[in-house]
Amino acid sequence: MGVQGESRMLIDGKLTEAASGRTFDNVNPATEEVIGQVADGGEQDVRAAIEAARRAFDETTWSTDRELRKRCLQQLKEGLEREKETLRPQIVAEVGAPIALTYAIQQDTCIADLQWDIDQIDRQQWEQELPVHEFFGMRSRRLVVREPVGVVAAITPWNFPFMLNLSKLGPALAAGNTVVLKPAPDTPWSATFIGKVIAEQTDIPPGVVNVVTSGDAAAVGEILTSDPRVDMVSFTGSTATGRRIMINGAETIKKVFLELGGKSANIVLDDADFAASVGMGSMVCVHAGQGCAITTRMLLPQSRYDEGVELLKAAFETVGYGDPNDMANIAGPLINARQMERVLGYIEKGKAEGARLLVGGKRSDRFDKGYFVEPTLFVDVKPDMTVAQEEIFGPVLVVIPYGDDDDAIRIANNSRYGLSGSVSSASLERAMNVARRIRTGTISVNGGQWFGPDSPFGGYRQSGVGREHGVEGFEEYLETKTIGLPES
């Protein structure tokens, strides 16, 4: 049974092959089979896309006509809704994402969440008047006007590709920007699909959205992040690439929004309900651990350490992983051979540094094909070990023992990252006190979910700059202009 996605890019309103005529393979990570071909865009294509986005921003009414934007984005949302059963198998095939996740975060919820951005067009305070102010002997009114930033380069990763494409397109477009979207080489269809719906089912003017695919992970991105016609880069991906993007953008002082890596702590306090909180530790294996906000360090109190480890061991031994088309699985394969080798390398490093491997630890021998790694549990991990400090991006949990609450907070904050976290206690007040002292952009208390179209998400420290979603996320895509005018 073949799943076929859109092979063409979208440049200046047209679905188009690469100027060179070249294509690259889209590979299913669960089967290692080539599932289709995609346009292998190069310099000529990306420069044409930037030119089109620049022109659409400077010369059409897109940036000023809010009614047009509302109508067009509503058409986009309805088009995506209509086509979602076409997209679903494509996401499963190219991402290796468990199909259950496509009914939530990977697909359905993010289409629905576009409504938040559309509605924000009416909610946003586009102009605000400040009180009359005297300066240099002159009394003046001041208007603070919000305007779109301009041409946005949106660069997205392969782990939640469709969702992240929409997380950037939604607010960027609603705010009045034009966009060049560049997906990861591993997951091009999650972007070209959107391009096709835009071209065929919406009145979005040519050039407002461009989608450029490339088999080379860096080349097109390097151009996008250094071309002077691009005003802003909105990036989700690794901290290493985020650093590179900041450096490239520095030459022309681009605005950058970066959502990067994480190594979030799950703090279980000694009075917590262990059955509920510790057992959930195996949820790090969801989507094979390929999520930046996953809580990949579990901090257990020394006083109940053995009890916690026993619960985790049982939970890890029963994680459902394998065929992404099986609704029962929470994890499929890793995205590609390179990522699998990277994860296996970290596992070897953990063993070498003295962490105790309790469950898993190798490529799964249950499958002949596919980049499957066993759910892996390390215990007796020291806070400074490599596996406790670096982002592994695989189905691996490290368990670190701690003394008292202060010790737990110190260990949790001993990280170059600051993306997310979790804390559990029988006392909400005690858990909240800990939550307030953790240096991260999001945190869950007693299992509460922080995610939502209106909740700002992003990182402290090397987990990023800026926020995605919510009013804060929307305003990332806005500039601010202050106009002074005489009082009368």
Residues serving a catalytic function are 259, 292
In the complex, least distance from residue 106 CB atom to ligand ADP, rounded to whole angstroms? 17
Amino acid at 10: L
CB-CB contact of 347 with 376 (8 Å) = yes
CB-CB contact of 234 with 152 (8 Å) = yes
In the complex, least distance from residue 24 CB atom to ligand ADP, rounded to whole angstroms? 12
In the complex with ligand ADP, which residue's Cβ is closer, 244 or 410? 244
In the complex, least distance from residue 246 CB atom to ligand ADP, rounded to whole angstroms? 10
Residues of 324-362 as b/e, b for ≥16 C-beta within 10 angstroms?
beeeebbbbbbbbeebbeebbebbeebeeeebebbbbbe
Owner of token pair 């520095």: 250
In the complex, least distance from residue 238 CB atom to ligand ADP, rounded to whole angstroms? 3
In the complex with ligand ADP, which residue's Cβ is closer, 345 or 484? 345
How far is the C-alpha of 98 from the C-alpha of 329, rounded, in Å? 6
For residue 397, list its beta bridge partners.
377
Residue facing ligand ADP at closest CB distance: 221
Give the residues lining the site for ligand ADP (CB under 6 A).
155-157, 182-185, 217-218, 221-222, 225, 237-238, 241, 244-245
In the complex with ligand ADP, which residue's Cβ is closer, 286 or 312? 286
In the complex with ligand ADP, which residue's Cβ is closer, 183 or 453? 183
In the complex with ligand ADP, which residue's Cβ is closer, 71 or 244? 244
φ, ψ of residue 189 in degrees (nearest 5)? -65, -30
In the complex with ligand ADP, which residue's Cβ is closer, 245 or 373? 245
In the complex, least distance from residue 339 CB atom to ligand ADP, rounded to whole angstroms? 7
Q: Which of 259, 261, 323 is nearest to 289 (CA)?
A: 261
How far is the C-alpha of 203 from the C-alpha of 258, rounded, in Å? 30
In the complex, least distance from residue 221 CB atom to ligand ADP, rounded to whole angstroms? 2
Q: Which of 269, 314, 303 is nearest to 424 (CA)?
A: 269
How far is the C-alpha of 409 from the C-alpha of 224, rounded, in Å? 40
- SS3 category, 142: strand
Q: Which of 74, 66, 75 is nearest to 176 (CA)?
A: 66
In the complex, least distance from residue 252 CB atom to ligand ADP, rounded to whole angstroms? 15
In the complex with ligand ADP, which residue's Cβ is closer, 218 or 314? 218
How far is the C-alpha of 217 from the C-alpha of 473, rounded, in Å? 26
How far is the C-alpha of 325 from the C-alpha of 317, rounded, in Å? 21
How far is the C-alpha of 427 from the C-alpha of 432, rounded, in Å? 9
